[in-house]
Structure 1
Amino acid sequence: MKRKFVIAFLAASLLVSAIPVAGYTTSNPDIRTVTPDATLQPGGVNELAFQLVNDPDGPDDEVRTATNVRVRPGNAGPIDVETNELYLQSLADGVPADRSLRLNVPSDIDSGTYRIPLRLTYEFDNGASNTVERRTTIHLPVRIESGPRFSVVDTDSTATVNGQGTLDVTMRNVGDSLARDSTLALSTSTPDVRLGSSESSTRFVDTWEQGENRTFEFETTLGDSATAGNYSLDAQIDYEKPDGTTGSTPSLTVPLRALPEMTFSVSNVESSLRVGETRTLSGTVTNTGPMPADAAVVNFADPGPTVTPIETSVAVGSLAPGESADFSFDTEVTTAGSAGLRQFDLSVVYYDQDDRQRESDAIPTRVDVAPESPEFDVAPVNATFEAGSGDEFSVTVTNTRDYAVSDVSAKIYADAPLSTSDDEAFIDRLEPGESREIVFQLGAGGSATAKTYPVKMDFQYDDDGGDTIISNTYQVPVDVTERTSGGPPVVPIVAVALVVAVGGFVYYRRRD
């Protein structure tokens, strides 16, 4: 009897627990979305904020907590969802969870309502101490309103690394209405790129028709730390709709391609430079790109006081990428200059595609400067004199230059015991390698010691460019031998001439 009572009591207890209390139920999780502002702006990435709510069916219902909630959003037509997955550890009854999605909305999307699918996976306790996993799909509604919308159609850049140029941005109104009083703001977030002299620049359009393209030009500067390749700039357009309301696009991406720095290598360098002479430095300049160089000029930077280019610039014309041209500089190396390997800096000044004058970096060019060589080879022909005698002093002069010289005036300088009564000679022209004999008058004093004495000689001449040059000083050996005849010492030629002149002067005065 007692056993039957216990069984009846347990059955009654189970029946009571199965009967819900009036006005109160417990239900499984029911996850929904709430979007405060579901309007998207076409033409860029939108950050859409929304809420996930575990919502009961009625105000007095209780909903079980969802745990390990995973949200995998999917694309909705042309709207590309850039967020891969969202995660919530738990979503309790009536406690909203704030989340957001990155939505890339094309500029040419049609207006209307779109539904973003959200694939949910979550777990919950079913009330019988069992964990249940559920998979379902809900949707997040979004709106595309009518009005102007903008798309980047094309860009073209002429800016090079460590240089300036222009960025042309072409944009189109792809919306379904015109835009008024539109302002395009372009900005950069990298220090390697400047728009003019600042980080941003704006352009204004009073009326922008539906389907119309507009091209905007921006001055662009790339720093020396920039690298060739692609950079991204940010653009935004504020506008007014035909009904007077205003709008603004999301951030638009504008690509900028940084071109490599303009470079020129100099090749085939040939140098005939020599100390004390005006010779030629020549070579070939090549535009190694990436853009044409118009009206190019090769400049010879100031090489210092001992090297003087006759002309410091040589025009080589316009050079397409990969095109070459020859150049040549007539250059004087003074006698104070030094022989050996020398480095000179060349550069190229040119006009770019924007008709802006630019100059390349210095192009180091190494050449060999030959040591100074005598202009003439001087060899004595008759250069032996007996002490106390005088005679013709003959010298053979050879032009060692590779060009003809003209109006050659030779002069000798004699020190005691040597003397001269005729110290100059003249040659009208000497071809390269040609030799001519010139004659002076020279005498040796009677008391001269028998040995070799130097006679100094220099030349004044005109080179092949018409410049008058004073040569270095040459020394010609003269041999003086002992006297072979007796008698008083022979008076040097100059002294004899002086005595004769004085005597004649006295004679004529006495006659008068």
Structure 2
Amino acid sequence: MAVTKSIIILVLFVMAALLVKPVMGGTLYLSGSPNLSASISGTNEFSPNSDVQISITIQNTGQSKDKLVQSGITDRDDLPTTAKFLISTLSSGNAPVSIKTDPVMLGDLAESSSAVAQYTVKILENAEGGTYILPLMLNYSYLSSASQYNDATMEYFYQSKEITLDIPITIKPEVVIDVLSAEPEHITAGAKGYITIQVKNSGTAHGSQAIVVLTRNGDSPILPVDDSVYIGDFPAGSTATARYKISVSGRAEQQSYPVDVGVVYLNAEGDSESTREKTIGVPVGGKVNFAIVSPPAAMHPGNKKEILVEYKNIGGSPVYSAQARISAVDPFTSASDIAFIGDLQPNESRVITYPLGVDRSATIKEYGLDSEIRYRDALDNTHISDPMKVTVDVTATEGIAIILTNPIYLSIVAAAVIGIAYLAYHYRKKKE
């Protein structure tokens, strides 16, 4: 009986032990703080006069080395190695760049983790080649200490910190061009001309076997005929001159139109490089054009006469060795349909004559005879003008002109004159 009682007591003791929840220990970190580093993800080499995206990876390698685990300690919500409310600010320092992005808020960065901040950076056009430092300022706070008043109450103490890290970037030495001048030579709509361009190497690299290239800009009416000029060595700070023949569409107006200029060269390693193109404006003169400013020529059916036609240069450029031509079609005829005009400056006019005849059966009305001018420009290129109309007003014959232009009337008049002369002759004979 005593043994049975002892067994029951032992079982009750074991059951009671199983029902009692053991006291768990908490962790207290005795030391530790964030340890932040930063580096560029991808390349850190950039070209002058470019807009680039720079991704900076920020790594937290902080560790809590000393910690105490015991009962009665409540685990903290934050660790002392967490960088809280992290803000990343990139500045240009002394580098020839412009930072386009505002400070980046990255939130909390725990130990053994990383975050990426992206920045838009403008590399200035005339940036010299070399390595530069961009200061990266990191602002954050971290848990410096905590006090536990009882099992349910903790007080946390945070400390703010600001550190600046160096972010190195490399700007490649390159040829950078400035267009110092662009002088047009006889550039007019619908014709060919020349343009002389002077370029300067404003970069820091020496270009070898350099070629200055002129290209069409979009749908500009200016099309290079010769698009490449070899200039050889192109040292930093030097200038070079290139002359190109260009063609201008007939649709161009009297204004400036764009063309693009660039340089292709070999760098110090012997690799081919191309500069960023520069767009320049080229002034284009108005299309050479003519107008007939004389009044309509008046003729009667059966007439043959020289008509006067006045041609005027209403374009913006002079013309040389101009010749006018008229198309004499039925009911008109002409012994010579070409007349020499000579040289005409803008707004200058000249009167020429055409021998013209009109058939007696011509309808009484106003006629328009096609006329055009063949001329040479300042570069001795031959052109033909747009067609013009020489107006001839054929009107009915009036008065004595009716008799003088009608063969029947002329025959009657001739017969009458002969009869009168005959009668006069016989009359004088009888008197004798």
TM-score under structure 2 length normalisation? 0.62
- The answer on whether the counterparts of 1:40 and 1:142 sit within 8 Å (CA) in structure 2 is no
Following the alignment from structure 1 to structure 2, what is the Cα–Cα distance between the partners of residues 295 and 189? 34
Partner of 1:362: 387
Counterpart code for 1:195: L
Q: Give per-residue Cα distances to partners, 1:379-430, cap 9 Å, x unaligned.
A: xxxxxxxxxxxxxxxxxxxx589xxxxxx999859xxxxxxxxx977xxxxx
Deviation at 1:268, TM superposition (A): 3.5
Partner of 2:17: none
Q: Which secondary structure does the structure 2 equivalent of 1:304 belong to? A: coil
TM-align CA RMSD:
4.9
Would the alpha carbon gap of residues 265 and 411 (structure 1) be closer, same or farther in structure 2, given more than 3 Å must change? closer
Following the alignment from structure 1 to structure 2, what is the Cα–Cα distance between the partners of residues 310 and 296? 20
Would the alpha carbon gap of residues 310 and 192 (structure 1) be closer, same or farther in structure 2, given more than 3 Å must change? farther
Following the alignment from structure 2 to structure 1, what is the Cα–Cα distance between the partners of residues 97 and 294? 57
Q: Which secondary structure does the structure 2 equivalent of 1:190 belong to? A: coil
Deviation at 1:255, TM superposition (A): 1.7
Alignment of 1:242-391 (within 5 A): 243-257=268-282, 259=284, 260-300=286-326, 302-372=327-397, 378=403
- The answer on whether the counterparts of 2:195 and 2:245 sit within 8 Å (CA) in structure 1 is yes
Partner of 1:219: 246
Partner of 2:208: 180
Deviation at 1:190, TM superposition (A): 2.2
Counterpart code for 2:116: P
Identical-residue share of aligned pairs (%): 13
- The answer on whether the counterparts of 1:184 and 1:235 sit within 8 Å (CA) in structure 2 is yes
Counterpart code for 1:362: P
Matched, 1:151 2:197: no
Following the alignment from structure 2 to structure 1, what is the Cα–Cα distance between the partners of residues 92 and 301? 80
Deviation at 1:251, TM superposition (A): 2.0
Would the alpha carbon gap of residues 57 and 192 (structure 1) be closer, same or farther in structure 2, given more than 3 Å must change? same
Partner of 1:96: 116
Alignment of 1:422-433 (within 5 A): none
Following the alignment from structure 1 to structure 2, what is the Cα–Cα distance between the partners of residues 91 and 361? 73
- The answer on whether the counterparts of 1:270 and 1:281 sit within 8 Å (CA) in structure 2 is no
Following the alignment from structure 2 to structure 1, what is the Cα–Cα distance between the partners of residues 164 and 348? 64
Following the alignment from structure 2 to structure 1, what is the Cα–Cα distance between the partners of residues 63 and 351? 91
Partner of 1:169: 197
Would the alpha carbon gap of residues 135 and 213 (structure 1) be closer, same or farther in structure 2, given more than 3 Å must change? farther
Partner of 1:50: 54
Following the alignment from structure 2 to structure 1, what is the Cα–Cα distance between the partners of residues 231 and 222? 23
What is the count of residue pairs matched by the alignment?
358
Would the alpha carbon gap of residues 261 and 410 (structure 1) be closer, same or farther in structure 2, given more than 3 Å must change? closer
Following the alignment from structure 1 to structure 2, what is the Cα–Cα distance between the partners of residues 410 and 236? 81
Would the alpha carbon gap of residues 297 and 246 (structure 1) be closer, same or farther in structure 2, given more than 3 Å must change? same
Following the alignment from structure 2 to structure 1, what is the Cα–Cα distance between the partners of residues 132 and 291? 59
Following the alignment from structure 2 to structure 1, what is the Cα–Cα distance between the partners of residues 302 and 313? 34
- The answer on whether the counterparts of 2:290 and 2:314 sit within 8 Å (CA) in structure 1 is yes
Q: Give per-residue Cα distances to partners, 1:185-234, cap 9 Å, x unaligned.
A: 3332523436357xx9433344446624221313223252x454333333
Q: Give per-residue Cα distances to partners, 1:227-266, cap 9 Å, x unaligned.
A: 543333333322124x553352432213242523333333
Would the alpha carbon gap of residues 367 and 151 (structure 1) be closer, same or farther in structure 2, given more than 3 Å must change? same
- The answer on whether the counterparts of 1:38 and 1:141 sit within 8 Å (CA) in structure 2 is no
Would the alpha carbon gap of residues 91 and 331 (structure 1) be closer, same or farther in structure 2, given more than 3 Å must change? farther
Q: Which secondary structure does the structure 2 equivalent of 1:439 belong to? A: helix
Deviation at 1:169, TM superposition (A): 2.8
The structure carrying a bigger helix percent of its residues is 2
Partner of 1:190: 218
Would the alpha carbon gap of residues 103 and 175 (structure 1) be closer, same or farther in structure 2, given more than 3 Å must change? closer
Counterpart code for 1:321: P
Judge which range, 86-95 or 318-327, deviates more. Answer: 86-95
- The answer on whether the counterparts of 2:220 and 2:259 sit within 8 Å (CA) in structure 1 is no
Following the alignment from structure 1 to structure 2, what is the Cα–Cα distance between the partners of residues 75 and 265? 66
Deviation at 1:277, TM superposition (A): 1.6
Would the alpha carbon gap of residues 84 and 266 (structure 1) be closer, same or farther in structure 2, given more than 3 Å must change? farther
Matched, 1:238 2:257: no
Q: Give per-residue Cα distances to partners, 1:441-473, cap 9 Å, x unaligned.
A: 9xxxxxxxxxxxxxxxxxxxxxxxxxxxxxxxx
Counterpart code for 1:96: V
Structure 1: give runs of 5+ residues left out of the alignment.
1-15, 379-398, 402-407, 414-422, 426-436, 442-512
Would the alpha carbon gap of residues 275 and 214 (structure 1) be closer, same or farther in structure 2, given more than 3 Å must change? same
Which one has more relative contact order, counting CA pairs under 8 Å at least 6 apart? 2
